[in-house]
Chain A
Amino acid sequence: MSLLDYFKTKKKPSTAATAKERLQIIVAHQRGERDAPDYFPAMKQEILEVIRKYVQVENDQVSVQLDQKDDHLSVLELNVTLPEKP
């Protein structure tokens, strides 16, 4: 760092903060699938295809999640964002 740099205001957005944000999202997603049974991805795909028979939706408009509430209860959550009527 030289004298000139010393007086320059350096306010660049931190790339580390971006990295952290991206990681938190991907890791949360990874963990959601970690405990899921082996049939889960196939089931998710089939559910999606059934919905598509009736409504035109994209992959990212459907979220299927398995939540372990406690030892005896897991909840399958299905969220579909339907397209707006034309």
Chain B
Amino acid sequence: MAQIIVVTSGKGGVGKTTSSAAIATGLALKGHKTVVVDFDIGLRNLDLIMGCERRVVYDFVNVINGEANLNQALIKDKRCDKLFVLPASQTRDKDALTKEGVGKVLQDLAKDFEYIICDSPAGIETGAMMSLYFADIAIVTTNPEVSSVRDSDRILGMLQSKSKRAEEGLEPVKEYLLLTRYSPARVTTGEMLSVADVEEILAIPLIGVIPESQAVLKASNSGVPVIIDQESDAGQAYSDAVARLTGEELPLRFVTEEKKGFLKRIFGS
């Protein structure tokens, strides 16, 4: 049975696409056949983060409308042969995604893939609602910041009332918190909500903490999912999150401040 995982947040710019790309790549590197689907119709960007923007021919909406079949639209990743991307279309048609259409495509993908990662757009419009409707698992991407936490809570409400699992009275969508852009140093000085604070407010299990990292921009500049950069803290933190998603138990890393040396403390940094 394929697992459908939505990467969602409500708020924009918190790292949904970065996380979708990293998690999908991580699962594929572990040997699971994985597809990552861009639900941000009209504002396609996952292709850029995955580095396959020049290979987009057909897209998600073409497949829904029967203008192309899945095999024509799926882009095989250059780095990992277990990984595929289904790009969003650049149409401005707001009704391009229908429940029936999306359901049919996901059903077809489920025959072939172990994991289907749905990269949600920001907001609570059609694209966002469609991306979470069919989910088995939700990864709620949150920054340690008031507006992001509040919007995450709103999205949790949607998952509990507007998803297929909720509507049909099935076992609820499994919700996980992914805290991104975390700065342990700022938490120490009392300028930033801590992991524990956000966990307490949202009250869902934590799947990972991704530190604020220069590696993320570098990765997106070059179209390589940040998880490939295993030298970087963010890359390693995403690997941990993927491992937890597949049932491993790992301690949290990168959540405490690096200790400054004696000389650095005196002479400044």
Q: Is A6 an interface residue (CB 8 A)?
A: yes
User: If A15-B190, A22-B146, A27-B201 touch, does A1 touch B153 (CB 8 Å cutoff)?
Assistant: no
Q: Is A23 an interface residue (CB 8 A)?
A: yes
Q: Is A31 an interface residue (CB 8 A)?
A: yes
Interface of B is mostly: helix
Are A23's CB and B190's CB within 8 A?
A: no
Chain B nearest CB: distance from A14 CB in Å? 3
Q: Is A16 an interface residue (CB 8 A)?
A: yes
**Cα–Cα, bound, A15→B265 (Å):** 24
Are B268's CB and A1's CB within 8 A?
A: yes
User: If A6-B265, A23-B146 touch, does A14 touch B191 (CB 8 Å cutoff)?
Assistant: yes
**Cα–Cα, bound, A26→B268 (Å):** 40
Q: Is B194 an interface residue (CB 8 A)?
A: yes
Are A15's CB and B150's CB within 8 A?
A: no
**Cα–Cα, bound, A30→B192 (Å):** 22
Give the A-B contact count at a CB cut-off of 8 A: 56
Are A1's CB and B269's CB within 8 A?
A: yes
**Selected contact of B187 from candidates A12, A16, A27, A31, CB within 8 Å:** A16
Are A16's CB and B154's CB within 8 A?
A: no
Are B193's CB and A16's CB within 8 A?
A: yes
- A2: B residues at CB distance < 8 A: 266-268
Q: Is B161 an interface residue (CB 8 A)?
A: yes
Residue of B nearest to A2 (CB): B268
Are A30's CB and B153's CB within 8 A?
A: yes
- B249: A residues at CB distance < 8 A: none
Q: Is B149 an interface residue (CB 8 A)?
A: yes
Q: Is B81 an interface residue (CB 8 A)?
A: no
Residues in A lying within 8 Å of B, measured CB to CB: 1-3, 6, 12-17, 19-20, 22-24, 26-27, 30-31, 34-35
Residues in B lying within 8 Å of A, measured CB to CB: 145-146, 149-150, 153-154, 157, 160-161, 187, 190-194, 197, 200-202, 260, 265-269
Sorted from nearest, which 8 A-B pairs have the closest CB atoms?
A14-B190, A2-B268, A34-B157, A20-B197, A27-B153, A16-B190, A19-B146, A23-B201
